[in-house]
A and B are shown apart, each in its own frame.
Chain A
Amino acid sequence: MSAAPALPRAWRDGQLAVLLLLPIALINAIGFILPVLNLARYSFNRSRIGGGIEQVFTWENWVGLLSDPFYLELVLNSVWISLAITLTTLVVSYPIALYLHRASGSWRTFLTVLVISPLLTSAVVRTYGWIAILTDDGPVVSAIKALGLPAPSLMFNIKGVFIGLTEILMPYMILALMAGFGRLDPRVEEAARTLGATPARTFRKVILPLTLPGIALGCLLCFVLAVSSFITPKLMGGGRVFLLATEIYDQAIVTLNWPLASTLSILVLIVFGAALWAYSAVLRRLD
């Protein structure tokens, strides 16, 4: 065995590490850090008609954005709708997560695969599926008509976006909840029940508090994904649902106002920051 001195060995390791990390570092720098910094810079540039920009430092985009009622409403709307979607997703995901947590063996594996598989299916495909379900000749509207009730309009408005997006976010919520359910020991529930607690009380006093960290994580994840969701609002909203993400795309691709699109993007990141802050505040209170 060669007795290499300690210092050159560490130095050689260092060189090796740099060499092996170089490709991923380059891609990260050129494809992530540089574009994001550039985005922040663009939000302080002035846009020229037709897509060019003027390289001046200006607060115009920010002042314009924050003093325009249309954009203020857009931001509030996006946040409000995303919060509502997040809560709905939580309510419809919780029973599945709890059931999966209690299931075992191959049945659990099978159901977990069922939960994950929509996640691996393109958002376009799933949104298209919802369009097919909620369209005027679709199964839902037909069934409601068959019952003799007035036919609702579920497409090209916020209702359709709400229903579709909730389903699309469910797998994320279920996985986050399951990750947080680790502390939930069936014996604790059993103890509560043996001591005479009703199922409802057991849920409120034992299960719910123990699963709060998972709930917080799932809500953070789904809120963040809802605020930045683009495909579903664009396809199911039919140009009539205006949210932050769709507006960023329209400004970037249709209007070619890159500084404004950049400013809106930074605004989305600020909303993210706020959500993250709220999440850590909740976690602190739980501890």
Chain B
Amino acid sequence: MEIHKTSWPMRILVFVLFVYLLAPVILVFPLSFSGDQVLRFPPSFWSTRWYSALFANSQMLKAFWTSLSLAAIVTVLSIVIAVPAAWVMTRLKFTGRDLLFNLFTAPLLLPTIVLGLAILIVFASFGLLATMQGLVFAHLVVTLPYALRVLAVSLSTQDRACEEAARTLGAKPLTVFFRVTVPMLTPGIVAAAALCFLVSFDEVVITLFLTGPRISTLPVELYNYVYNQADPLVAAASALLILLTLAVIMIVERAMGLGKAFVK
């Protein structure tokens, strides 16, 4: 085993760059306890007034519940739709399989601003603008490619011997799928679900095109709020959102290791 010595200037440089990378995420925590009326750092005094203001803001609360239920519905649907699709993509051989896989993951390549406009124009004629169904559908367009990709990787690296054994012992294909394949796939499903949840919960550009006064999500409300005024209210909301994200990350880390889920 060789230990690579990193020189001190290099270590300091990396540390400074990490500070730059994490500064905006870290700063919102102290800022959320600001007692000032305006954005000022360091705050002139500390308080929890912005948390109180946040929980008294009915529009934000409503948007939060919309986002939460939207993300939950989208996550469940993504898994239900993507698991069979990923199974077909990894277990059956047919012509055009790679082409289909590329087509199904292609929405990720399109910039969200273009996809948002494209969906807006089509949804306008379907009457799906500013509806929950419309938002669920639009979010599925972006979450399904993530789910499909993560699940396909998990399935293709899965040991096939257990499936073979179950089949040899007389289990029917459906039994093999539900009693062997799916249980072994659990880490992949957890990772895919967490990813879909975060993508849907944080999605803002496409959603911005499809929401209105009737229905809005938390990121869109936060965007509108910051666009109009910048005070520490959003810092309080951001701090809570980051904690939620951390909780989801920890679930994934427990299930399969974050490095494996993303770097691969």
Contact = CB atoms under 8 A, between A and B. Distances in A.
A124 B140 contact: no
B209 interface: yes
Given A95-B13, A252-B117, A235 B204 contact: no
Interface stretch (B49-57, B118-126, B178-186): B118-126
The bracket for how many chain A residues form the interface is: 35 or more
A200 to B, nearest CB: 12
A44 interface: no
A162 interface: no
A122 to B, nearest CB: 4
Interface string B205-238: 1001100000000010011001100100011001
A62 B200 CA distance: 34
A39 B121 contact: yes
Interface stretch (A131-139, A146-154, A207-215, A278-286): A131-139
Contacts of B246: 117
A121 B82 CA distance: 24
Nearest to B43: A137
Interface residues of B, number: 82
B241 A20 contact: no
Interface in A1-18: 13-14, 16-17
A113 to B, nearest CB: 5
B259 A135 contact: no
A109 B259 contact: yes
A285 B247 CA distance: 45
A24 interface: yes
Given A23-B81, A28-B107, A186-B2, A118 B148 contact: no
A20 B39 contact: no
B85 A24 contact: yes
A129 B85 contact: no
A261 interface: yes
B114 A116 contact: no
A25 B202 CA distance: 25
A167 B113 contact: no
B17 A124 contact: no
B216 to A, nearest CB: 13
Contact of A117 (B4, B141, B249): B249
A212 B112 CA distance: 28
Chain A facing B: main interface SS: helix
B44 to A, nearest CB: 10
Nearest to A266: B114
A115 interface: yes
Contacts of A170: 20-21
Interface string B112-154: 1111011111100000000000000110110010001000000
B92 A95 contact: no
Contact of B230 (A30, A135, A190, A262): A135
A42 B114 contact: no
B226 A178 contact: no
B110 interface: yes
Nearest to A236: B226
Contact of B205 (A114, A125, A230): A230
A187 B222 CA distance: 50
A35 B84 contact: no
Interface in B44-94: 81-82, 84-85, 87-88, 92, 94
B189 interface: no
A72 to B, nearest CB: 20
Nearest to B198: A120
B28 A129 contact: yes
B14 interface: yes
A242 interface: no
Contacts of B160: none
A88 to B, nearest CB: 11
B165 interface: no
A249 B113 contact: yes
Interface string A175-189: 100110000001100
A271 B230 CA distance: 34
A269 B113 CA distance: 11
Interface in A226-283: 227-228, 230-231, 234-235, 245, 248-249, 252-253, 258, 261-262, 265, 268-269, 272
B41 A13 contact: no
Contact of A31 (B18, B24, B84, B137): B137
Interface string B1-40: 0101011001101100110111111011001000000111
B253 interface: yes
A38 B230 contact: no
A27 B137 contact: yes
Interface of B: 2, 4, 6-7, 10-11, 13-14, 17-18, 20-25, 27-28, 31, 38-42, 81-82, 84-85, 87-88, 92, 94, 100, 103-104, 106-107, 110-115, 117-122, 137-138, 140-141, 144, 148, 198, 202, 204-205, 208-209, 219, 222-223, 226-227, 230, 234-235, 238, 241-242, 245-246, 248-249, 253, 257-259, 262-263
